[in-house]
Amino acid sequence: MSSLNVVCDFDGTIALEDVTDNLLDRFAGASWKDIEGQWLAGHFGSRECMARQVALLRASRKEIDDYLDSVKIDPFFSSFVNHCEQTPDVSLTIVSDGIDYAVRRILRKHALSRLHIKANALVAVSEHRYRLDFPHAAAQCTAQAGTCKCAVARKRPQARTIVNGDGTSDLCVAARADFVFAKDRLLTFCQANAIAHLPFDNFFDIEREFSEVVGTVNHRSTPIGV
């Protein structure tokens, strides 16, 4: 079996809500939505968008934690993780253009702290204020993302890549992946661009199809690559 990267989005994919947006709704001023609109209009990349938005947060760590501890994840995700861990030469990485502290706290609550996570780093600058650092940014990232999902996938250059996702931050890596499990905006993108994909509602759908998809991807003569 060939090496296989599984690149999995977090907000709206593993988490049943957009955790980053909900943090901003609760703890940032209304102007975070103006910044979001400028990003969607193409005035700057998601890295600058996220940096500006997180700078608006005004909350104690306890207030943030209380919200994060209320977040529900897909009830079938843990089973999918076990399936990946039992499949030879599959590497599962959670790759998010959201906030690493949020991803880690939520997954730890669900006994999934062992997972590999790549996301933007939340740094406290005072008791109630924060900044965002970008340890997984890439100068060549066409999306100017805080976390370049393509760069994460490229770290195993001879491997095939399967992407699980739902939104804008997944578009670039999905266009370069060997296969995509998609919903919402990502599904529309895959359909419009003839990208090999299957729709999903939850991780039960992905796990049910995963072995067959892996077999199909591995029988290609060469990986598409990212």
Higher pLDDT, 18 or 217: 18
- What 8-state DSSP symbol labels residue 169? G
Q: What is the pLDDT of residue 222?
A: 57
Domain assignment present for residue 226? The answer is no
Contact 102, 20 (CB under 8 A): yes
Q: Does 59 reside within a domain?
A: yes
pLDDT score for 156: 67
Across the chain, mean pLDDT equals 93
Residue 178 lies in a domain: yes
Residue 72 lies in a domain: yes
Range of the domain at 176: 4-218
State the Cα angle at 146 between 143 and 149, rounded to 5°. Answer: 65
pLDDT confidence tier of residue 2, bands split at 50, 70 and 90: low
In which order are the strands placed within the sheet that holds 90-99?
130-133, 116-124, 90-99, 4-8, 160-165, 179-182, 197-199
pTM of the model: 0.92
Structural domain includes residue 224: no
Which among 204, 217, 132 has a CA at the least distance from the CA of 178? 217
For the stretch 136-162, pLDDT in tens is 999 888 888 999 998 888 776 678 999
Average pLDDT over residues 45-57: 96
Check: CB of residue 48 under 8 Å from CB of residue 62.
Answer: no
Close Cβ partners of 222 (under 8 Å, ≥ 6 residues apart): none
Percent of the chain with pLDDT over 90: 81
Q: Kindly state whether residue 223 falls inside one of the protein's structural domains.
A: no
DSSP, res 117: E
Tell me, what CATH number does 92's domain have? 3.40.50.1000
Number of domains in the chain: 1
Give the pLDDT confidence score for residue 1 in this predicted structure: 45
Q: Please give the pLDDT value at position 226.
A: 52
32 assigned to some structural domain? yes
**pLDDT at residue 11, rounded to an integer:** 96
**53 or 167, which is more confident?**
53
Query: Is 103's pLDDT higher than 90?
Result: yes
For the cut 80, the answer to whether the pLDDT of residue 37 exceeds it is yes
* Average pLDDT value for residue range 159-187: 94
Residue 225 within a domain: no
- Average pLDDT estimate for 60-87: 97
pLDDT of residue 143: 81
pLDDT tops 70 at residue 55: yes
